Amino acid sequence: MTTETADRGQWKTRAGFILAAAGSAVGLGNIWKFPYITGENGGGLFVLIYLICIALVGIPIMMGEIMIGRAARKQPVAAFHALAGKKSAWAGVGWLGVLAGFVILSYYIVVAGWAMDFTLKSIANFTEPIHDRAEQVATNYRATASIDDMRTLLVERETERELREPLRQLQAQVRPSDWKGYERYTTALGAAGAPDLYRAEILHETYGEEVSAGMQLVLSDADSQLIATWGLLGVGEDEQAQASQELYESTRSRLLEDAKLRPQIEASEAILAQIEERTREARLAVLAVYPLVEVGAAEREAQEIFIRDKATTLVRRNEIFDSVDSAFTQVATDGWTSVFWAALFMLVTIIIVAAGIGSGIERACRLLMPMLFALILIMVVYGAFTSGFAEAVSFVFKPDPHNLKASGVLEALGHAFFTLSLGMGAMITYGSYQATKERLVSQSVTIAVLDTGIALLACLMIFPITFSYGQEPDAGPGLVFKSMPLAFAEIGKGGMLLAILFFGLVVFAALTSAISLLEVVASYFIDQWNWNRKKAAWLFGGVIFLFGVPSAFSMDPNFAMPGWAPSFGKNFFDTMDYLASNWMLPMGGLLIAIYAGWFMPKKMRAAELADAPSALVMGWLVLIRFIAPVLVIIVLAQKVGILDADELLHGLFG
Ligand code: TRP
């Protein structure tokens, strides 16, 4: 036996492949990303479309990848060499995959590291002091704030919430490009009062190329006015308000002087007027909920108690939110801490991959996957007893056509690739370790069902808690690191246990995925260069970790690479994620679909699908030859900017 076959290895049991592949698929994508993009895209309908993408694009490409791996019994580069010929350009797809594995793993370990940090924090019971301090602040507030202040606070906050739906509707009515213009306009106006360095940056970022000579004038002009405003700091509030109003007005009129910007700005101001109108309506509605009128002492007292209770809860919640928010910001902006945890996480990943397919990866997944499943079930059962459960279920499963934009559909498709670990040959690699060939269709469907099931369960674990504690579902990437700890802190005593379970679960899920990413890179050196497994895992684990250091530091103000963000428009971390998820995976997936559908030798395809009914094979061929490539090309066109799906649909249906 040569070292090559010895180090290649294979799954020990029939379930080994399924467990490992599901372990690869179930990861941060399911627990961290899917809930927050579902939240941002309005729930139900997005989920439905995501399920359709999994079925029409995900499963067929998954079958394609596993098929290639099983037929060649080699990792992606070697597999394309073996199937398409030594000189074939298809090996480039394998190369792209190795590169993508390298890139994704480098920032994946940073997020996984944060989850480790939060697991440790949870063991140290970090939410309890936050809970206690908030109680104190709230008690203080209750004792000292006036009833009018309390009412104002409530009305402001509730108006904001009340406005969400009308604003969403308004946004659906106006042209998407006008809405973008409106957002840029308010940013630009907001920048009027900012110190000049920031203002220049904000204006450049929002208007970019369109910053013309007129804009330059605004900059210098606003400067002198700003200085004048600062001179007013010693004077009363009224004068200050007037000065900033003037600043705002002059910025506006300067922007209007620019012929190119003028139509945009007029559209933006029409939108602004509508928003003001709706804000007025919302405020009136909210004021009616918190009446405070002289109507006999008893009723007045009831009104005051109502307001006092509500306001105190709000203040407590805000206090918790601030603490939790800063707990996360502290970790994310502390480069060395992030590096430390990323290193630890990478170490565990390397040890498992170095131990081999059967006794490393398979064993780890056999242990971790059932634990992960149990933990998530416990959390969902807990969620089922909270007050927000019904709202969460309807948010996740009730399609609401108002809430989804065309770009959301494309995001669903893009995410289908990431969450199923497709597009970079991870499934080719794992498929190549199968000793016996089980039914390809049912293997692929099982993996996809497990992955999708966990993603839906993750929503049913997170949203009941967010809704129960007055949080919004669209908190973005911070959902897992901020909204969840917030809820744990609200719960008080039992919160610690839930926090440990939750973050432990995130770490496990990330680990079984990270393993597969490293395996794709390591197996290249094992299969192609005859390296021994330990050397490949340790060397490339180390190199990828080093490559991840800038990602860990990308949010640290002291170390962040100062030249990066201005030239790429995103920090290092986001650039890597963007490159991999938006480009490498869809490109890789497209090429794999084309190869499996059109170029793979018919006989090999038939051999892999020998046990499948011919109708199923036909269906698969249609999906992988036509449907999947076309959909992926549409996604890519949107990314390049050839196509603006939101604008197009608005144009078609008004
Ligand atoms: N699927 C994993 C997740 O959802 C991430 C992942 C692991 C992955 N291996 C991959 C993504 C290979 C793309 C390709 O978190």
Averaged pLDDT for residues 632-640: 85
Highest-confidence range of 153-157, 469-473, 553-557, 621-625, by mean pLDDT? 621-625
Residues near ligand 1 with C-beta < 6 Å? 24-25, 27-30, 104, 418-419, 421, 424, 426, 513, 516-517, 585
Which residue out of 66, 421, 450 has the highest number of ligand 1 atoms within 8 Å of its CB and is therefore the one to mutate? 421
Q: Where are the beta strands (DSSP E) in 481-557?
A: none
Q: Work out the pLDDT band at 27, boundaries 50, 70, 90.
A: very high
Measured N-to-C along each axis, helices 176-191 and 237-257 cross at an angle, to the nearest 10 degrees, of 130
Q: Label residue 3 by pLDDT band (50, 70, 90).
A: very low
Core vs surface per residue 426-439: b (16+ CB within 10 A) or e: bbbbbbbbbeeeee
Tell me how far the alpha carbon of residue 33 lies from the centroid of ligand 1, in angstroms: 11
Q: How confident is the model at residue 640 (pLDDT cuts 50, 70, 90)?
A: confident
CA-proximal residue: ligand 1, atom 6 (nearest): 421
Q: Which residue owns the Cα nearest ligand 1 atom 10?
A: 421
| Distance in Å, CA 25 to ligand 1 centroid | 5
CA 509 to ligand 1 center in whole angstroms: 10
Query: Among 37, 353, 513, which is best to mutate for testing ligand 1, by the most ligand atoms less than 8 A from CB?
Result: 513
Q: What is the pLDDT of residues 341-373, one digit of tens each?
A: 999 999 999 999 999 999 999 999 999 999 999
Give the per-residue pLDDT at 578: 85
Cα 143 to Cα 224, 305, 409, 528, distances in angstroms: 45, 12, 50, 72
pLDDT score for 192: 62
Output DSSP code: residue 293: -
User: Counting atoms of ligand 1 from 1, which one is nearest the CA of 30?
Assistant: 4
Q: Which stretch of 249-258, 391-400, 540-549 has the lowest confidence by average pLDDT?
A: 249-258
Contacts with 253 (C-beta within 8 Å, 6 or more apart), sequence order: none
Choosing from 104, 106, 544 the residue with most ligand 1 atoms within 8 A of its CB, the one to mutate for a pocket test is 104
Q: Which of 345, 457, 516, 520 to mutate to test the pocket of ligand 1 (most atoms within 8 A of CB)?
A: 516
pLDDT of residue 200: 56
Residue having the nearest C-alpha atom to atom 8 of ligand 1: 421
Cα of 305 vs centre of ligand 1, distance in Å, is 51
Q: What separation in Å is there between the alpha carbon of 515 and the centre of ligand 1?
A: 10
Residue with tokens 């056509």: 401
Can you tell me the distance from the alpha carbon of 12 to that of 650, in angstroms, rounded to the nearest whole number? 54
Q: Tell me, in angstroms, the distance from the centre of ligand 1 to residue 433's CA.
A: 18
pLDDT over 60 at 505, yes or no: yes
Where does the pLDDT of residue 213 fall: very low under 50, low under 70, confident under 90, or very high at 90 and above? Answer: very low
- Cα(475) to ligand 1 centroid in Å equals 23
Region 387-402: mean pLDDT is: 90
Nearest-CA residue for atom 7 of ligand 1: 513
Percent pLDDT > 70 in the chain is 89
What is the Å distance from ligand 1's center to 105 Cα?
9
For residue 503, report the distance from its CA to the centre of ligand 1, in Å: 19
132-191 pLDDT per residue, tens: 999 999 999 999 999 889 988 999 888 988 888 888 888 888 888 888 888 878 877 776
Task: Name the more confident of 633 and 557.
Answer: 633
Residue 206 clears pLDDT 90, i.e. is over it: no
What is the C-alpha separation between 36 and 562, in angstroms, rounded? Answer: 29
Among 278, 302, 313, which residue's Cα sits nearest to residue 153?
313
How crowded is residue 445: how many other Cβ atoms within 10 Å of its Cβ?
Answer: 15
pLDDT at 211 over 60: no
Atom of ligand 1 nearest to the CA of 417: 13
Residue 236, pLDDT score:
62
Testing ligand 1's pocket by substitution, the residue of 110, 361, 418 carrying the most ligand atoms inside 8 A of its CB is 418
**142 Cα–ligand 1 center, Å:** 48
Is residue 451's pLDDT more than 90?
Answer: yes
The pLDDT tens digits of the residues spanning 414-428 come to 899 999 999 999 999
Ligand 1 centroid to residue 391 C-alpha, Å:
30
* DSSP H or E run through 91: helix 91-123
pLDDT digits (tens, 9 = 90+) for 64-102: 999 999 999 999 999 999 999 888 999 999 999 999 999
- Residue 653 is predicted with a pLDDT of 64
What is the secondary structure of 111-135 as a DSSP string?
HHHHHHHHHHHHHTTTHHHHHHHHH
- pLDDT for 135 equals 93
**Helix (H) or strand (E) segment spanning residue 345:** helix 335-354
pLDDT for the residue numbered 459: 95
Smallest CA separation from ligand 1 atom 12, residue: 421
Instruction: Using the atom order of ligand 1, give the atom closest to the CA of residue 27.
Output: 15
Nearest atom of ligand 1 to the alpha carbon of 28: 15
pLDDT, residue 537, reads 97
Cβ atoms of 207 and 196 closer than 8 Å: no
Q: Which atom of ligand 1 is nearest to the CA of 423?
A: 14
Mean pLDDT over 510-522 rounds to: 97
| pLDDT category of residue 237 using cuts at 50, 70 and 90 | low
Ligand 1 centroid, distance to 351 Cα (angstroms): 19
Q: Is the dihedral of CA 233, 237, 239, 245 positive or negative?
A: positive
Mean pLDDT of the chain: 86
Q: Can you give the pLDDT at residue 555? A: 84
Confidence of residue 235 (pLDDT cuts 50, 70, 90): low
Which residue, among 39, 50, 36, 12, has the nearest Cα to 448 in the 3D structure? 50
What is the structure's pLDDT at 476?
A: 75
Atom of ligand 1 nearest to the CA of 520: 12
The four Cα atoms 602, 604, 607, 610 give a dihedral, to 10 degrees, of: -40
215 with 255: CB under 8 angstroms?
A: yes
How many angstroms separate the alpha carbon of residue 485 from the centre of ligand 1? 25
